[in-house]
Structure formats: structure tokens, C-alpha cells
Structure 1
Amino acid sequence: MREKILNILLDKNKEFVSGEEISERLGITRSAVWKHIKNIKQQGYEIESVTKKGYKIVKCPDLLTTEIVKYNLNTNLLGKEVIYCDTIGSTNDYAKEIAKNAKEGTIIISEEQTKGRGRMGRYWHSIKGDGIWMSIILKPNIYPHEAPFITQIAGASIVSGLKKLGVNSLIKWPNDIIINNKKVSGILTELGAEIDRINYIVVGMGMNVKTIDFPENVKELATSIKKEGHNLKRIDILKSIIEEFEHLYLKYIQDKDKSECIKICRENSAVIGKNIYILKGEEKRKAKCVDITEEGNLVIINNNIKEELISGEVSIRGDKDYV
């Protein structure tokens, strides 16, 4: 009921709506309306109340609450269920805990992660209220060996979502998004599967949005949307990415079409045409990136021999820098 009342207020676009109108539309008493309004205020919404006029939203808090995320989200699958947390260890860990019984497309979002991590178990710096920390639960009817392509979809979705908001970024294959040669976002895809079937895929995305000062150990490698000169709302970024993700994901799952995703990954690659170091365990070797295949694998040349790298097997670093 609170979500419905909030949607009514948001639909009015900062115009007054009477308590009587709300109560009639929702079939509840005006006293109940007032109680829900009080709860909405406690979430941080600034709501003006005027006798004989009603209520209007003056200012929305910079929170990624369930109601705000679902409001006018243009999707058919993703975000129909949204779990919002003020703080959590890891959205991916929680998503895996509930994945068995959760609906496909369920999104877990937290204002803060205390145990955020990236690929290879690396720690992810998650400041409360400064970024986007979310995980998406997927249950595609594909084989386990096809799952790594979901990481390509996530990367393409972030780049496309940001571009629609005026932010240019690149993909450091397979799971880092960079701006000005610094990491702004990371992707962690985890799989729950049997030999021949997928039970669930959890796609975690972390993005630095408002952070200006980074810890000493990452400040030369990390950046944020705001630090790069873009003053965007977290909710606008989040919705743009989710909508792009659903578009590319359904093309892949329903139409078996990877072409648009691969095109985005190629055109926005931070590594094609560059020399890189390939890291696998203790092994480190140098090669040149030349392409991304239709399957999303990275094509490299090493000692005049072409080779394909599969997402999830290796990490890469720039010849002289992060990229």
C-alpha cells in the first residue's frame, strides 16, 4: 500500500493530491493514508501537507529503495521483485542464498556492502550511499558453458546505459568498466549449476557514482561518475542499466542473438589493438588483443599464434598500466 501511495504522489510530479482522492483510489481510510505518508517521510522523502490541498512530494531522497527502483521501470522481467537493504555483507552472497526460490529477474540492492568483492575474490570498496551495489538473479534455459556470455551482456549494458546518460566508458574485457583508464564499475557473475543445466546465475554489478576520495591502495586505479565530471542520480543510472540489460539478455535467451551485444563490446573495447599481460595463477605472459569473437571470447596473438581466451579463466592487465 505504501508503494501505491508513493506512486500516486510521484505521478503527480510535485503537485498536490488530496488525501480523499488517495483513499478513494485505494479503498482505505484517510487515517490510513496519513499513517502511510508518515512512514514514507521516515524514509527520507520530503512531503508537504496542506489543509484542503493534500500532499505533494517536494524532494526525493537519494536512495535506491524498492519503490523508487520499480517506479516507471520499463522492463518486463527484471525488477518486478526488488529487495532493498540499507547494509549487507554482499549482494551476490545474499542473492545466491535466496536464488532457489526467487523469481527470475529479482534484484538485490544495498546502500552499502561490508564484504563486497570482485573476480578472484578481490575486495570491492563499497561506500554507503556513494555507489550502486546490486545483484540480479537469472534462470536462463541455457547450458552451463554458455553462462560466461552473461558477463559480456552486463558489460555492454553498463556501457550502453551510461552512454544514454551522456557518459562514455569502455570495457576492459571481460568484466571491468573504465573511464579515462580507471575502473568505475566491476561485474561478478556467479553460477549455480549441475553438469547439464543451470539452476541460477547471479550477476553482481558495483559502480562508483559519487566517490571523490579513494583509499591510497586504489586511488590510482579507481574513479567515479562524479569524479569524471558527471553529476547524475544513482537511480537514473541504475534504471538505464537494468533496461539495457533486459533488452540484450532477452535477445540472447529468446532469440539466440548475440550480435548487438558483441557489436557494443567490440566498439567500446579498451583492449582491442593493445598489448596486454595475461594472468592465470602464477603465469604471466604478454600478447596483443586483436578481436572479440561472436561467442564473446578475446582473440589474442602470441608469438604469431592466434588464441582465444574464455571469460572467467584469466585476468588481463595493460602493458604499462591498468589498461
Structure 2
Amino acid sequence: MEGTRKQLIELLFSHQSDYVSGQFLSEQLNISRSAIWKHMNELKKSGYEIEAVTNKGYRIINVPNALSEDALRWGLKTDWLGSRISFHQSVQSTQMVAHELARAGASHGTIVLANEQTNGKGRMKRYWDSKSGLGLWLSMILRPHELEPKNATQITLVAAVAVADVMKQLGIDIKIKWPNDLFINDRKLAGILTEMQAEQDQIDYIVLGIGLNVNHGLDDFDQSIKQQATSLHLETGTIHNLNELFQQVALSFEQLYERFIEQGFLSIKSEWEGYAYKLGEWINVRAQGEWPAKLVGIHEDGALKVIDQQGNEHLLYSAEILWS
């Protein structure tokens, strides 16, 4: 059923400027015209606007804004990322579900999405507010067997650039705060979480989580983060289609990920630095005491590059950064 629905959506999408006859769809999918009609009704229930005209056929007028598996697939232009989509109305955490699927053998490129997370987590197990219908809460299963485990954290940086590129296309001045946050005007828009299962010398799988605040109003944020968080809606005044935004993020990440695997992080380093939060500014570092440092870039292995007041360069891998 899932494969047939996906093929139907792809056929409608490929003929979106014209009507597609029920007979043509029936022949292409090798199912009855009655079955085509039933699938169309299911698509309508998912929020699609479908026009049906006698002697002409079917045509999609509009796709739903609310997340649904059908809408997520419709127009997805990736080659392998999202080849399997596990969509849920509500889960504790997409990371938890993705780990379960990965341990059960889920393929490279599988994506878990949820309309809501009841126990979403960010880095350092911090709570991530993931209310229903307001953002993109997703986790990707990646199996980069050619990548050394020591370089796995670089995927966080690659994902940050991929999301930042999409924001740039939307006309948003976005910044990446090392190692895993995206900021607009000093407020957090998105967070990225990378978790790995590996042997000593080989990665079994990586679960890459992305939480992106999209259609939140100010009152939609928990009181504890209201002054630190923002959303695309708050910054642009626009309600964004979650399905289309997911498709843009997925395509952007797939393209950057393939370059990363083929050429390494060095090929993406300058792009990351172009988005770097507080690049060229002084911050405070907590590592063997607290000391001021100037952020000058990022090393090709993903470490943050700073200089101290004496002009000595330091590479930071896990230090606590005091940004203000």
C-alpha cells in the first residue's frame, strides 16, 4: 500500500500542470480504477486538494501544510535520503525510535519524523520543546561505513551548514553556533544531535537528529526558554509548509553529505565559517580555568579554533563556551 501510494503521488507530481486520467494511473500502477479512487480519497483525508474532472482525470491543486507521510513524500527530490520514512503523530523522541529501527537493521537514509515529541532531547540531554504541528522534529539513520568513528562528529557540522543553506534561500540571516545550534539574532532556531553506535574502528550507524522551530508564536514556547528561542514564523511573519521545508532540508543535507563523504570536511569548512556565530569576536572559554579567547574559525577535524590574549592558537574539542 505504501509503495503504491508513493508511486501515485509521484505520477501526479510529474503531471502537476495537467490532468492525469484514471485509466492511465490504473495501467501504470497495475491496480483497478476503483482502487485509484480509494487512494485519492485517502490523499484528501491527508489534506491534499485534488480536482477530479470527468473525461480529464485527476490533478493535485494543493498539498497540506500539516505533516503526513504522503505529503512528506510528494515532491521529495532526494536520491536515497528518505527512501524510507517512518512518520508518527506523537513519540517520546524521534532519536529513540531511530535507534530502535537502526538496531533492527533499518537502511541507510531512513528518516523518522514526528508531529510531536513528548520527551525530546538535545545535546547534553537538555529538554527540547517539541509541540505538535509547530516544527520539524526528525532523525536520520546513516551508515557511513567508510567514515572513521573519530570523524563522526563532523556530520553535525555538515548538517548545520545544510540547514543554514535552506534558511539562506529563505532570505534569513542565520548563524551556526558551534557545535550544534543555529541562531537568528542571538536566539536559538534549531539544534542538531548526533549519536553513534560503533566498534573500535568502524561505524555501525549514526542517528542524526534535527529540531527546527518553524511555526511557533511567542506563547508556544515554554516559559523557561521564551527569551532564548525563536522560530521562522516569529522572524518572517509567515506560516511555513512543514512538508516542503522538510524536503528542502533533506535535499540540502543529502548533497552536502555526499560531498563530505567523498572529499572530507575540508571541502565544507569555509562554508561553515561563513555562517559562524561570533566569528572574529571575543568569548570566554572554560577549559583548565576560564579565559578569554577570540574565535577565528574551525579546524578541518571540526575543532573550534581560537586564539588567546597572547596570540596563541588553541583547538577546542569539548570545552564549555560562554558566548556572552
Q: TM-score, normalised by structure 1?
A: 0.90
Corresponding residue for 2:140?
Answer: 136
Deviations 1:242-295 (A, max 9, x none): 22212221122123x323321111111112222223357x97554332221122
Does residue 253 of structure 2 align to residue 245 of structure 1?
Answer: yes
Pairs within 5 Å for 1:172-321: 172-213=177-218, 214-229=221-236, 231=238, 232-255=240-263, 257-278=264-285, 285-302=291-308, 304=310, 305-310=312-317, 313-319=318-324
SS for the counterpart of 2:236 is: coil
Does residue 66 of structure 2 align to residue 59 of structure 1?
Answer: no
Does residue 118 of structure 2 align to residue 111 of structure 1?
Answer: no
The number of aligned residues is: 315
Corresponding residue for 2:131?
Answer: 127
Give the whole-Å Cα distance in 2 for the aligned partners of 1:56 and 1:243.
25
Give the whole-Å Cα distance in 1 for the aligned partners of 2:226 and 2:132.
18
Two-structure CA RMSD over aligned residues (Å):
2.1
Decide whether the 8 Å contact of 2:64 with 2:71 is kept in 1. no
> Structure 2 counterpart of 1:235, which letter?
N
SS for the counterpart of 2:193 is: strand
Decide whether the 8 Å contact of 1:173 with 1:271 is kept in 2. no
* Cα distance change, pair 78–182 in 1 and its aligned pair in 2 (3 A): same
Give the whole-Å Cα distance in 2 for the aligned partners of 1:293 and 1:93.
31
Decide whether the 8 Å contact of 1:88 with 1:114 is kept in 2. yes
Kindly, what percent of the aligned residue pairs are identical?
37
> Structure 1 counterpart of 2:173, which letter?
N
> Structure 2 counterpart of 1:78, which letter?
L
Gaps of 5+ in 1: none
Match of 1:49 among 45, 48, 52: 52
Does residue 95 of structure 2 align to residue 92 of structure 1?
Answer: yes
Deviations 1:11-33 (A, max 9, x none): 33264333222212222111111
Give the whole-Å Cα distance in 2 for the aligned partners of 1:241 and 1:288.
31
SS for the counterpart of 1:276 is: strand
Decide whether the 8 Å contact of 1:162 with 1:237 is kept in 2. no
* Cα distance change, pair 76–14 in 1 and its aligned pair in 2 (3 A): closer
> Structure 1 counterpart of 2:16, which letter?
N
Corresponding residue for 2:23?
Answer: 20
Give the whole-Å Cα distance in 2 for the aligned partners of 1:10 and 1:63.
18
Deviations 1:33-63 (A, max 9, x none): 1111222222222323344343332332113
SS for the counterpart of 2:233 is: coil
> Structure 1 counterpart of 2:267, which letter?
E
Deviations 1:127-185 (A, max 9, x none): 21111111111111222111111111011111112212322201011100011111000
SS for the counterpart of 2:216 is: coil
> Structure 1 counterpart of 2:266, which letter?
S
Deviations 1:215-259 (A, max 9, x none): 22111110011110153322332222222212221122123x323
Structure 1 range deviating more: 184-193 or 76-85: 76-85
> Structure 2 counterpart of 1:119, which letter?
R
Decide whether the 8 Å contact of 1:167 with 1:230 is kept in 2. no
Give the whole-Å Cα distance in 2 for the aligned partners of 1:27 and 1:61.
27
Deviations 1:69-110 (A, max 9, x none): 333433323121111111111111111111130111111111
Decide whether the 8 Å contact of 1:183 with 1:222 is kept in 2. yes
Match of 1:147 among 152, 157, 164: 152
Structure 1 range deviating more: 211-220 or 130-139: 211-220
SS for the counterpart of 1:98 is: helix
Does residue 85 of structure 2 align to residue 82 of structure 1?
Answer: yes
SS for the counterpart of 2:119 is: coil
